[in-house]
Amino acid sequence: MSKEDYRDKIEEHRQSFEEEQKEQEALSRVARMNKNGSNNKKPKNTKRKTPLMTILFVIFILIPLSILVYFLKFYEPGSTIEEAEKNSSEEIVEIDNSGDKAVPVSTDKNKDGDKAKETSKKDAEKLASEQKAAEEAKKAEAAKNAEEARKAEAAKNAEQARNADEARRAQAEADRKAEQARKAEEARKAEDAKQSANASTHTVKANENLYRIALNHYGDGSEATLAKIRAANGMSSNNISVGQVIKLP
């Protein structure tokens, strides 16, 4: 149903309502004239007709219909009643030359369409910019993560190289100490061999003791000389036996 049909129906109901009111006023005037024109005549028992149908029509048809027209044509979600009335007041009626009826034409229709297109365009541009910003932020985050991963990998490689270098240095130090120990052992063995080669032996005879042997060979029977002889033979005391072979370093 178009807006013009709603207007025609409202106009028809208004006219019928006015006709009923006029009829009731005419009946009231006739009743007053009959009452004032003759006192001899018994006034007719006229009972005023209650406009029940009119009241019901207004309550159940006209008011809901008006509300429906308002919500269908003028109401916009998010707009106030004053804004809707202002928009409806801006409507201009033009005469169609092909007929007798006036056709309401909204001059703001194209403007509203342009505004809607402009708003849609702005929303699309805003959405595109937000998507572009989100993509750029995502790329920047990915580049940041890649850079952090690269730095972490470089730090890990540097740490591994440092640990390897320290291990190499420790191994070299251990090898050097081992070589020194080996050389010291070889020198000690060489010295022992030299001392063994240079050392003479003595077979213990009867009535000999370690002191006399040291005095005969070294001309010195001191404790130092005795200790040297004991060390060369692995002895813990000065006790010796007949026939025992003693090294004399």
> With bands split at pLDDT 50, 70 and 90, how would you rate the model's confidence at 103?
very low
What are the backbone dihedrals phi and psi of residue 221, each rounded to the nearest 5 degrees, phi first? -105, 30
At 47-88, the pLDDT tens digits run 455 567 788 877 888 888 888 887 787 766 655 555 555 555
Please report whether residue 40 resides in a domain. no
What's the number of domains the chain is made of? 3
Q: What is the pLDDT of residue 155?
A: 92
At 9-25, the pLDDT tens digits run 777 777 777 887 787 77
Please report whether residue 102 resides in a domain. no
For residues 8 and 55, membership in a common domain is answered with yes
For residues 131 and 209, membership in a common domain is answered with no
For residues 28 and 112, membership in a common domain is answered with no
156 CB neighbour count, 10 Å cutoff: 10
For residues 9 and 89, membership in a common domain is answered with yes
Please report whether residue 162 resides in a domain. yes
Please report whether residue 71 resides in a domain. yes
> Which residues are registered as beta bridge partners of 202?
246
Please report whether residue 103 resides in a domain. no
CATH of the domain at 219: 3.10.350.10
Domain that holds residue 68: 3-35+47-96
Q: What is the pLDDT of residue 112?
A: 64
Q: What is the pLDDT of residue 37?
A: 53
Q: What is the pLDDT of residue 151?
A: 92
> With bands split at pLDDT 50, 70 and 90, how would you rate the model's confidence at 140?
very high
Q: Residues 170-181: what's their mean pLDDT?
A: 93
| C-alpha span between 239 and 210 (Å, rounded) | 7
